[in-house]
Structure 1
Amino acid sequence: MDKLLAQSRWYRLLPVAFITYSLAYLDRANFGFGAASGMAEDLHITPAMSSLLGSLFFLGYFFFQVPGAVYAENRSAKKLIFWSLILWGGLAMATGIISNVNALIGIRFMLGVVESAVMPAMLLFLSRWFTKKERSQANTFLILGNPVTILWMSVLSGYLIQAVGWRWMFILEGLPAIIWAFFWWRLVDDKPEDASWLTRPEKQGLAVQLEKEQQGIKPVKNYAEAFKSRVVILLSFQYALWSIGVYGFVMWLPSILNAAPDMNIVKTGWLSAVPYVLAIIGMLGASYFSDKTLNRKAFVWPFLLVGAVAFYGSYLVGPDNFWLSFVLLILAGGAMYAPYGPFFAIIPEILPRNVAGGAMALINSFGALGSFIGAYIVGYLNGTTGGFGASYLFMAGSLFLAAIITLIAVKKPASLETPESASVRLA
């Protein structure tokens, strides 16, 4: 059967998914560089307002996850992402044009609304094209758009701000999403049966394998039943806590580094990129071994625990030893990113496809809520305490709780689970 699963899916679809998610991440994460480079002074943004603006994106992101996923599931992920690309590129460019903070408030919120459906729609899209044994790696190639983008964006944004200012940074980094929308429309199909580049045996082989996987999953009538299941509720809270650490880190790392002695925005850009090199290695390794063993839990909670310990270590080291603290931040960043592929492979393996997309959207929306809390509170703690120790403790505690909930929520490796045990765990 594996011979009928076309290898062309990997090089046809995953680069497109990677680039699409990369552009989404570029246009949400470059705000941290704008905030660290003069935007606050030009728009008269207070530290408290800067924290709110950094987190407003995630508030818009929180409210529109599930509706977007339902549209993608019942209609077209391809069409949804096409229009999202155009709209978020336009909003990102508008960030470089506005002249007052009120307009920026509206743009940050709407950017979250527009991007909210992208992640669940893309995960749903990939679940239609890749089997259980492939899914963790496929998800990882999608989510690699996150650390890879921050890696090169950190360097590029530093140089762009120095060369043309923060306004042109937003304009130049927003334009590619609009252009890419038309490549996306040309290159992808919603479902394998729509693809002219697959042979009939390849389509049939993939359809048979995906249908076989569904036979071992307990039927779930509707979204309400899925959303009430124990594992979805626990994973929603787990992902919220995990995202507190991730986005507290992503949004404020440039400001943390820029506050170091003898630092400038170009050095900040280079140093901000380093944790994401480790993140890429960790993500590829975790997803590969997760798919080999089909043990998702074992490649999620240990990394979150390492991230918690690394943040706590940075707190203990304190601001007087910058380089040791920075090494620990590199470790925390890499550890937080490593489990994404295995984590998002869990839901399609325990819920049927009629509700899996909505369940992933619900979990991701709680992640957005955690991101909002993380981005806001980390910025608030940094501003009110005049240092970073309190925010390190906050992120360490959040990741520790996320690791514990993972152990409770996911009971058995997928390779050891029977349909009967899956039914019990969902009850």
Structure 2
Amino acid sequence: MPKPLAKKRWYRLIPIVFITYSLAYLDRANFGFALAGGMGHDLNITAAMSSLLGSLFFLGYFFFQIPGALYAANKSAKLLIFWSLILWGLLAMATGMVHNVSLLIVIRFMLGVVESAVMPSMLIFLSRWFTKAERSRANTFLILGNPVTILWMSILSGHLVGTLGWRSMFIIEGAPGIIWAFFWWYLVNDKVKDAKWLSESQKADVEEQLLLEQQSIKPVKNYAEAFKLRVVILLCLQYALWSVGVYGFVMWLPSIINAAPNMDIVTTGWLSSVPYILAIIMMLVTSYYSDRTLKRKEFIWPFLLVGALAFYGSYLVGTSNFWLSFILLVIAGGAMYAPYGPFFAIITEILPGNVAGGAIALINSFGALGSFLGAYLVGYLNGTTHSFDASYIFMSGSLFMSALITIIALRKKEVLYPQLKLAKKGH
């Protein structure tokens, strides 16, 4: 029977990582509101250029993901995230001061570069503090920063754009990241052994449990060997397709809603927040039962399939019934977010610590590539067809393929999860 581990880790660390990722996501997602609220008109941004600008963030994210994650794994996640907070806050504020598209292109790309290591660094950080029986929930509380931020950001950004304009929105929403950097630096430790707020016995218990888990995982010699594994390659493709749907949705939902008859930007903000309420509930429930049952695959692919069907339903409804189409979009949003906790728990459970960080970065970088394609192509399809039908079909197909690849990639459960069976027997 595993020893009960210090609950203080949850109270101390989870609020900190949640706030940190929330601030990162704030600077990423408010761009869609700026476009819907007059930025395109003020800077003479064409439909094609708005698609490129919305997706450029993810291109910078893709290219610099792995170097940043390797630094976090081998050096310090704490230091890397500290400087990222400061730099992305400055870049977000600079977005509100630009007067030409060329400079905006540079800022959007650099914002992606600065943020690229944050997600994998956070996952590496949590894997050093929480065991596999806790990890899906820990990851979920991190990633909850995504839908929770969009929830309140949608309302706040709608009001800021409506009352002060899009420039003030970027400046006001960029400042908190810079301030929070110093709280982050003071409050966290990279390693359990350095935490002064745990007793020596508490630290020893956590480190012992984490070491036992590593011993039950089949060794992988280096990153090159890890990157060639069939499961890693398939998960890269799976996450890329999943991200097509997620970020096509996140970037363009405000524009989709704002195009409805008699819609204003403030109402758009309120309605855009609704899918993320469902997402928060579904993420918490999914991660709880995934950790309780120690099952991962079964809590991933069914939700992706539901998301695919909901997007297809929105296509079938079209513009004939706005509210039915909106309800289906809410379902799609909730279903796409639900599996994040179990998904990121998988990687640290099938790969040893010496390569897990690089594998997380590789998979997440392909997610960034999918995000780039989703944000760009959904905007492109909306602009060229003057309808959302094609983008609904595109996101639906991407999520369907992601669900299918999940089943294929994780079908050899007895090979992938021997350590989970051991853990279950321990309980």
Do both proteins adopt the same fold according to a TM-score greater than 0.5, normalized to the shorter chain? yes
1:207-234 Cα deviation digits (max 9, x unpaired)? 1100111111111111111011011000
Alpha-carbon spacing, 1:420–1:349, altered in 2? closer, same or farther (3 Å)? closer
Structure 1: any 5+ residue segments left out of the alignment?
423-427
1:161 aligned residue: 161
2:15 corresponds to 1:10: no
Once superposed, what is the RMSD of the aligned Cα atoms? 1.5
1:421 Cα deviation from its structure 2 partner: 11
Instruction: Answer whether contact 1:71 1:77 (CA < 8 A) is retained.
Output: yes
Identity of aligned residues (%): 75
The equivalences for 1:45-194 within 5 A come to 45-194=45-194
C-alpha displacement of 1:84: 0.2
- Separation in structure 1 between the aligned mates of residue 238 and residue 205 of structure 2, nearest angstrom: 36
Structure 1 residues 25-53: Cα deviation after superposition (integer angstroms, max 9, x where no partner):
00010000000010001111000000000
- Counterpart AA for 2:44: H
Matched ranges for 1:15-414 at <5 A = 15-413=15-413
- Taking a change above 3 Å as real, the CA distance of residues 324 and 239 of structure 1, as seen in their structure-2 partners, is same
Q: Is the 8 A contact 1:294 1:413 kept in 2?
A: no
Q: How many angstroms does 1:3 deviate by?
A: 4.6
Give 1:399's aligned amino acid.
L
Structure 1 residues 420, 400: closer, same or farther in 2, change over 3 A?
closer
Corresponding letter in the other structure for 1:321: N
Aligned residue pairs total 422
Partner SS for 1:64: helix
**1:425 maps to what in 2?**
none
Q: Distance in 1 between matches of 2:291 and 2:255?
A: 37
Aligned to 2:425: none
Q: Spell out structure 1 runs of 4+ moving beyond 4 A.
A: 1-4, 412-416, 419-422
* Bigger mean CA offset, 409-418 vs 259-268: 409-418
Tell me, in whole angstroms, the C-alpha distance in 1 between the residues paired with 2:246 and 2:415. 29
Give the Cα separation in 1 of the matches to 2:417 and 2:87: 42
Per-residue displacement from partner, 1:187-212 (whole Å, max 9, x unpaired)? 00001001000101111101110011
Deviations 1:320-366 (A, max 9, x none): 21000000000000000000000000010010001001100000000
Deviations 1:155-194 (A, max 9, x none): 0000001111100000000000000000000000001001
CA separation of 1:143 and 1:414: change in aligned 2, threshold 3 A: farther
Structure 1 residues 29-84: Cα deviation after superposition (integer angstroms, max 9, x where no partner): 00000000100011110000000000000000000111011000110000000000
The TM-score with structure 1 as length reference comes to 0.97
CA distance in structure 1 between the aligned counterparts of 2:326 and 2:67, rounded to whole angstroms: 40
Unaligned runs of 5+ in 2: 423-427
Q: d(CA) in 2 for partners of 1:131 and 1:59? A: 33
Is the CA contact 1:349–1:414 (under 8 Å) kept in the aligned structure 2? no
- Name the SS of the counterpart of 1:69 in structure 2: helix
